[in-house]
């Protein structure tokens, strides 16, 4: 017997109590984690903004939106003259959800500074290049596209060819992430703004031509779109808009923009709009003509469009990396997805808003857009391959390619060719791909100062101008066939690296044509600040004394040479520049370079999932002894996207224990300071296939977390594990302490699986209504919501088939439609965890609402009894005539208040609100009706119980649900008391209240956005939202009682076993479960609307049957007394 009280001495069953406690703890910890702020390391961007409004064309109507041109400078300008002088490359900024057109100021200001100040300082590090997949569309191969370091780059290093004219649309700060109609209206206006910008350039040229006869300028034919947040999706929607001029947009850059799905996927029309636009993009890249394409979508090919998606990484709580990815939407030949932590010269994760003003990112994006301008036309390159190559070269680090973390198809052809000595021999100019420029001249040095290194590792701590020789055949034996070098010296200016087939007999590099220089194969690392010492809670910097070396400097570059790279060569030489200034650059205050031959297998450590999970109970250590590999590869088999791990690195020793510098106590502070002088600060390289690489300099204590979703079925291959490569001094011993971070795990759980939990919550309530409907069909008392939920958690059944059957169906469908990349075990475990969390959350909501309703009914009953006594005393003191008049008025008021608002009138009101105002308002009316039904049922039940609910008489009268489920029917009880009938009404109305409350809550964001436009927008709600909400209203009013039930599915045995409404609820719950797994909770509206339509049909059949005298469908009869 399941006992469950609304309010009183009884409590949850252990199963439900455990689930509720776990959900409550995880929810509180996760929400608190969302409030934590992390220092991003971003530098603020400063500007002197002026916004020049663009007048609307004379033949257009007045719009509530606006278009502005940005001007940087503190002086006042003539707006009309500024518009006449337009001659740059047009760039249109589109703000995001609730954003302002003024957010363009950081990008526009830095673009102006970049053009006036010239290109960035020349980098001698290896730059990113197109991979084989990205360059597969080039007819002549990708080598020509990647090799942009010739005359074009030499000219580009002096001055950019044109400036950027930044425009911004004023979208009135509307919340486009909450409503599909707003998103569509924004798209319409952006298309108009693009046309106005292009027309304005033509008008400006005509106005200038009147005064300058010899003036000639090429008009821009396209506009670069830069969108933040939802503005990025609006930019993509504008590209496939049927009204957009042909090739008017060729480049789209998005900043923290959702592409695959909306961040708040709770409105059906919003989800459908996303699906429609994404379907158009997939079709646009697949072929040029699409016969079945709707007229509302573009039928033009998108082969000319390049899209770059930049996202903030794990610190962006609003738009996750999976949403911002272009996978499946834009092919790799036309799209680039990159996280800010892996961007060159940025290396920082950032929040959703800080990506707009973070100076490191803004500067890099501004220079990249300027580099994309063609010298001949003064406009962006017409070739999509050259535009994509520019973005890749300027934004993406080649570290993943160098470390072998990318598949062979993702490795650039130029890198594969570089591993073949016969191909990479010096070219016509005498230099290979990775050679330094001829313009860099080093002073001739004799071989007398050369040093021959006899150990596996080499350390350089001074710019002495000497060459170190390392014998590959000798030092690379015993499997040490890989070489790695880290240094803070600038390649070509501070250090040069060569591969020699044999030692040359003459001095100089150019005399031996078989020498291969690999200096520019070095990859840049972020050079973090010099480490600081912590003493008693205070940070203390080291004092630099004359003649004393400071703490070891952090590396700023790394060079990897594999066994294929070294094949065919005998020596490696490391030559350091002399101390005097080279090329006008001062040398670093502290120089360092550490190289080593190493065996990759010795540095690999695979940590199994159970080992990582055990760190929840206590930390575990990984020891690195002295003379370990410089590159240590830790493979965390359990992704830190699921369970973040805190890692701390402490120096255990640094090879000075037996030296004269060691103290008696090797663990004291002096020993630590000596080790800091000898060991360079570790650098961590965190890799995830979805988010890319993140580089963490000065890696001593950090929580490793990647913004990946390995437990989702659509997760990218390889994302089930996280790779952490640590560049650490081989002469020092370290202790790596690892412990799982449960608060971070709870936060990640809510962020990644929030939409999944929302869909599961509706499914759980529909499973609850299924149990209640099944009890009605078998002529048993209707169980409460909590009792049904507790029963659905019973192991092994029905919990297994309620939670596992939808998972099996979903995985079967996904495997049939696409290739599976996710682990079925992790997918099932996390999905079950989401199901449990949703059950706990719904149970908490049910309990709170039950308590509130009971307290309200109890207070009402208590106040009524007191007032009745007071009225009787007052009536005794007033004349009978006056009393009769008051009674008549009171009865008329009561009758009027009841009869003037019948259920049908309320339903009509809610329908009118749904179709002509907003669907959420109609659903709120339904929720209020359910609340009144629950309240009146409880009040009537308390009157029968003398305003005390007895669990033994009421809820404990329910038959065990296992008998209901198994069809074990005892003697039916067709006649029940009025008190029990009121309790059943409450139980069923409570379930309807909860499911329709969640449905109304899913439309609240859209209602908030609609309220912001109140008085300005006269358009009707989208028909999709209104029609689905209409179906829910039918369910709420027509199906408010369980007596509307028609047998649909026959079961063996008694004819009374036939399933009716319970079968409908079961199918709807299954569909809602699948919607949650697909991260599309808005699809539950389809299931709820179908339930409403079917209950209406059942009601019509029931009435027809009663008109014919057939009462077999109404199994339960109430006895009122």
Longest C-alpha distance within the chain, in Å? 132
| Cβ–Cβ under 8 Å, residues 287 and 300 | no
Its CATH architecture, for the domain 601-740, is Sandwich (2.60)
3-state secondary structure of 799: helix
Bridge-partner residues for 339, per DSSP? 311
794 or 1016, higher pLDDT:
794
Mean pLDDT is lowest, of 558-567, 754-763, 815-824, 1060-1069, for 815-824
Read off the pLDDT band of 470 (50, 70, 90). very high
90 or 211, higher pLDDT:
90
| Spatial CA neighbour of 559 closest among 573, 540, 545, 539 | 573
Mean pLDDT of 153-179: 85
980 or 1026, higher pLDDT:
1026
1014 or 990, higher pLDDT:
990
Read off the pLDDT band of 956 (50, 70, 90). very low
Read off the pLDDT band of 582 (50, 70, 90). low
Please tell me the predicted confidence (pLDDT) of residue 311.
Answer: 94
Q: Which two tokens stand for residue 947?
A: 């305003």
Q: Is the pLDDT of residue 733 over 80?
A: yes
832 or 412, higher pLDDT:
832
Mean pLDDT of 769-786: 90
| Cβ–Cβ under 8 Å, residues 990 and 850 | yes
Q: Where in the chain is the domain with CATH 2.60.120?
A: 601-740
Q: Where in the chain is the domain with CATH 3.40.50.1820?
A: 49-119+149-396
Please tell me the predicted confidence (pLDDT) of residue 923.
Answer: 96
Please tell me the predicted confidence (pLDDT) of residue 671.
Answer: 55
Q: Residue 1040 CA to chain centroid, in angstroms?
A: 39
Query: Mean pLDDT of all residues in the chain?
Result: 80
- Phi/psi of residue 863, each to 5°? -65, -40
3-state secondary structure of 848: helix
Q: Measured between alpha carbons, how far is 135 from 501 in angstroms, rounded to an integer?
A: 33
Residue 969: CB atoms within 10 A of its CB come to: 16
| Cβ–Cβ under 8 Å, residues 1059 and 242 | no
Give the HSE-up count for residue 477: Cα atoms under 13 Å, Cβ half-sphere: 6
User: Considering the chain, what percentage of its residues have pLDDT values greater than 90?
Assistant: 44
Q: Residue 925 CA to chain centroid, in angstroms?
A: 34
Q: Measured between alpha carbons, how far is 526 from 507 in angstroms, rounded to an integer?
A: 35
- Phi/psi of residue 558, each to 5°? -140, 140
Q: Which two tokens stand for residue 1014?
A: 């109140």
3-state secondary structure of 685: strand
Q: Can you tell me which residue has the tokens 């272009």? A: 326
pLDDT of 650-667, one tens digit each?
A: 888 876 554 444 444 445
Residues of 503-515 as b/e, b for ≥16 C-beta within 10 angstroms? ebeeeebeebeeb
Please tell me the predicted confidence (pLDDT) of residue 1007.
Answer: 93
Please tell me the predicted confidence (pLDDT) of residue 218.
Answer: 75
| Spatial CA neighbour of 319 closest among 401, 230, 249 | 230
Tally of helices (H runs) and strands (E runs) in the chain: 30, 31
Mean pLDDT of 791-798: 90
Mean pLDDT is lowest, of 168-182, 324-338, 406-420, 864-878, for 406-420
Residue 700: CB atoms within 10 A of its CB come to: 14
3-state secondary structure of 807: helix
477 or 161, higher pLDDT:
161
Please tell me the predicted confidence (pLDDT) of residue 411.
Answer: 54
Q: Is the pLDDT of residue 548 over 50?
A: no
Mean pLDDT of 107-133: 87
Please tell me the predicted confidence (pLDDT) of residue 967.
Answer: 45
Bridge-partner residues for 1078, per DSSP? none
Q: Is the pLDDT of residue 1099 over 80?
A: yes
Q: Measured between alpha carbons, how far is 24 from 222 in angstroms, rounded to an integer?
A: 53
| Cβ–Cβ under 8 Å, residues 599 and 476 | no
Please tell me the predicted confidence (pLDDT) of residue 761.
Answer: 97
Q: Is the pLDDT of residue 53 over 90?
A: yes
pLDDT of 223-278, one tens digit each?
A: 999 999 999 999 999 999 999 999 999 999 999 999 999 999 999 999 999 999 99
Mean pLDDT of 826-831: 87
Q: Is the pLDDT of residue 800 over 80?
A: yes
Query: Would you identify the CATH topology of the domain 49-119+149-396?
Result: Rossmann fold (3.40.50)
pLDDT of 359-370, one tens digit each?
A: 999 999 999 999
pTM: 0.87
Read off the pLDDT band of 128 (50, 70, 90). confident
- Return the ∠ at Cα 870 (arms to 866 and 871), rounded to 5°: 115
pLDDT of 962-999, one tens digit each?
A: 555 544 433 444 556 777 888 889 999 999 999 999 99
| Cβ–Cβ under 8 Å, residues 484 and 598 | yes
Q: Compute the radius of gyration of the chain from its Cα atoms.
A: 36
Read off the pLDDT band of 8 (50, 70, 90). very low
Please tell me the predicted confidence (pLDDT) of residue 878.
Answer: 53
Please tell me the predicted confidence (pLDDT) of residue 544.
Answer: 36
Please tell me the predicted confidence (pLDDT) of residue 446.
Answer: 59
Please tell me the predicted confidence (pLDDT) of residue 926.
Answer: 95
Angle between helices 824-877 and 919-944 (to 10 degrees): 60
Read off the pLDDT band of 536 (50, 70, 90). very low
Q: Is the pLDDT of residue 921 over 50?
A: yes
pLDDT of 368-396, one tens digit each?
A: 999 999 988 889 999 999 999 999 999 99
Q: Is the pLDDT of residue 413 over 60?
A: no
Please tell me the predicted confidence (pLDDT) of residue 954.
Answer: 41
Please tell me the predicted confidence (pLDDT) of residue 1086.
Answer: 97
């Amino acid at each position: 017997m399941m006992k469950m009280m609304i309010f009183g001495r009884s409590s949850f069953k252990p199963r439900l109590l455990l689930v509720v406690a776990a959900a409550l703890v995880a929810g509180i910890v996760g929400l608190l984690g969302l409030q934590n702020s992390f220092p991003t390391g971003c530098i603020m961007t400063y500007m002197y903004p002026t916004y020049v409004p663009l007048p609307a064309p004379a033949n257009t109507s007045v719009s509530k939106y606006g278009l502005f041109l940005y001007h940087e400078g503190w002086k006042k300008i003539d707006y009309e003259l500024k518009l006449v002088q337009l001659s740059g490359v047009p760039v249109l900024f589109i703000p995001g959800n609730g954003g302002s057109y003024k957010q363009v100021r950081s990008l526009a200001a830095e673009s102006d500074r970049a053009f006036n100040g010239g290109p960035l300082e020349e980098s001698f590090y290896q730059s990113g290049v197109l991979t084989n997949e990205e360059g597969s569309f080039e007819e002549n191969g990708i080598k020509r596209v990647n090799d942009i370091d010739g005359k074009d780059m030499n000219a580009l290093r002096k001055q950019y060819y044109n400036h950027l004219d930044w425009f911004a649309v004023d979208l009135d700060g509307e919340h486009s992430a909450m409503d599909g109609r707003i998103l569509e209206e924004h798209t319409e206006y952006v298309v108009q703004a693009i046309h106005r910008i292009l027309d304005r350039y033509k008008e400006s040229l005509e106005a200038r031509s009147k005064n300058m006869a010899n003036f000639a300028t090429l008009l821009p034919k396209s506009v670069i779109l830069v969108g933040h947040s939802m503005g990025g999706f609006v930019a993509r929607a504008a590209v496939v808009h049927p009204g957009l001029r042909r090739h008017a947009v060729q480049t789209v850059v998005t900043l923290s923009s959702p592409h695959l799905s909306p961040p708040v996927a709770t409105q059906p029309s919003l989800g459908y709009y996303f699906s429609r636009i994404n379907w158009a993009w997939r079709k646009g890249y697949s072929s040029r003509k699409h016969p079945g394409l709707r007229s509302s979508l573009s039928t033009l090919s998108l082969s000319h469009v390049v899209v770059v998606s930049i996202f903030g990484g794990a610190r962006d709580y609003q738009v996750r990396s999976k949403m911002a990815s272009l996978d499946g939407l834009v092919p790799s030949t036309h799209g680039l997805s990159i996280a800010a932590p892996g961007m060159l010269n940025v290396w920082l994760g950032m929040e959703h808003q800080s990506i707009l003003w973070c100076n490191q990112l803004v500067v890099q994006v501004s220079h990249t857009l300027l580099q994309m301008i063609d010298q001949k036309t003064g406009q962006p390159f017409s070739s999509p391959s050259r535009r994509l190559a520019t973005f890749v070269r300027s934004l993406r680090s080649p570290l993943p390619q160098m470390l072998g973390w990318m598949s062979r198809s993702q490795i650039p052809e130029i890198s594969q060719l570089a591993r073949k000595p016969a191909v990479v021999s010096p070219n016509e100019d005498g230099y290979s791909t990775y050679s330094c420029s001829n313009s860099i001249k080093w002073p001739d040095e004799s071989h007398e100062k050369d040093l021959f290194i006899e150990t596996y590792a080499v350390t350089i701590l001074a710019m002495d101008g000497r060459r170190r020789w390392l014998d590959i055949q000798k030092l690379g034996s015993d499997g040490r066939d890989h070489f790695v070098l880290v240094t803070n010296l600038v390649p070509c200016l501070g250090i040069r690296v060569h591969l020699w087939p044999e030692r040359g007999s003459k001095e100089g590099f150019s005399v031996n044509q078989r020498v291969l220089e690999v200096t520019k194969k070095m990859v840049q690392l972020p050079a973090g600040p010099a480490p600081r010492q912590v003493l008693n809670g205070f940070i203390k910097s080291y004092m630099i004394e004359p003649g004393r070396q400071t703490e070891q400097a952090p590396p700023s570059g790394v060079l990897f040479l594999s066994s294929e790279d070294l094949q065919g060569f005998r020596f490696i030489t490391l030559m350091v520049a002399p101390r005097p200034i080279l090329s006008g650059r001062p040398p670093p205050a502290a120089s360092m370079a550490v190289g080593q031959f190493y065996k990759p297998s010795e540095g690999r450590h695979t940590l199994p999932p159970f080992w990582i999970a055990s760190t929840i109970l206590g930390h575990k250590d990984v020891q690195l002894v002295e003379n370990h590999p410089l590159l240590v590869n830790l493979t965390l088999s359990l992704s830190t996207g699921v369970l973040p791990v805190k890692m701390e690195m402490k120096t255990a020793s640094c090879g000075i224990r037996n030296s004269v510098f060691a103290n008696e106590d090797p663990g004291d502070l002096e020993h630590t300071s000596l080790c800091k002088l000898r060991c360079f600060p570790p650098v961590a390289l965190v890799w995830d296939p979805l988010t890319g690489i993140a580089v963490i300099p000065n890696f001593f204590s950090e929580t490793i977390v990647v913004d990946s979703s390995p437990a989702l079925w659509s997760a990218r291959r390889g994302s089930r594990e996280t790779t952490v490569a640590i560049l650490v001094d081989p002469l020092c011993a370290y202790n790596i302490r690892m412990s799982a971070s449960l608060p971070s795990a709870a936060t990640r759980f809510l962020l990644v699986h929030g939409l999944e939990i929302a869909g599961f919550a509706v499914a759980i309530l529909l499973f609850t209504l299924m149990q209640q409907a099944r009890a009605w069909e078998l002529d048993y008392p209707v169980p409460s919501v909590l009792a049904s939920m507790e029963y659905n958690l019973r192991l092994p059944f029905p919990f297994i088939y309620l939670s596992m059957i939808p998972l099996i169906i979903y995985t079967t469908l996904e495997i049939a439609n696409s290739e599976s990349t996710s682990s079925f075990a992790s997918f099932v475990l996390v999905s079950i965890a989401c199901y449990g969390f949703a059950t706990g959350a719904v149970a908490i909501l049910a309990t709170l609402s039950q308590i509130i309703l009971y307290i309200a009914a109890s207070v009402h009953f208590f106040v009524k009894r007191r007032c009745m006594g007071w009225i009787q005393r007052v009536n005794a003191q007033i004349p009978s005539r006056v009393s009769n008049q008051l009674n008549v008025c009171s009865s008329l008021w009561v009758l009027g208040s009841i009869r003037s608002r019948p259920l049908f009138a309320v339903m009509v009101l809610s329908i009118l609100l749904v179709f002509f105002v907003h669907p959420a308002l109609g659903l709120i009316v339904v929720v209020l009706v359910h609340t009144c039904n629950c309240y009146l049922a409880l009040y009537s039940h308390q009157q029968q119980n003398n305003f005390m609910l007895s669990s033994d008489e009421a809820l404990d009268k329910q038959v065990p649900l296992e008998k209901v489920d198994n069809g074990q029917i005892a003697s039916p009880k067709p006649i029940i008391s009025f008190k029990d009938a009121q309790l059943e009404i409450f139980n069923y109305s409570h379930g309807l209240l909860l499911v329709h409350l969640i449905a109304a809550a899913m439309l609240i964001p859209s209602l908030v956005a609609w309220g912001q436009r109140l008085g300005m927008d006269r358009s009707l709600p989208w028909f999709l939202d209104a029609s689905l909400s209409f179906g829910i209203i039918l369910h709420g009013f027509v199906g408010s009682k369980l007596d509307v039930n028609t047998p649909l599915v026959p079961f063996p045995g008694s004819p009374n076993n036939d399933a009716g409404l319970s079968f409908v609820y079961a199918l709807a719950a299954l569909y809602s479960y699948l919607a949650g797994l697909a991260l599309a909770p808005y699809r539950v509206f389809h299931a709820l609307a179908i339930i409403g339509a079917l209950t209406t049909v059942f009601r019509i059949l029931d009435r027809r049957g009663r008109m014919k005298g057939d009462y077999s469908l109404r199994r339960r009869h109430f006895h009122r007394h």
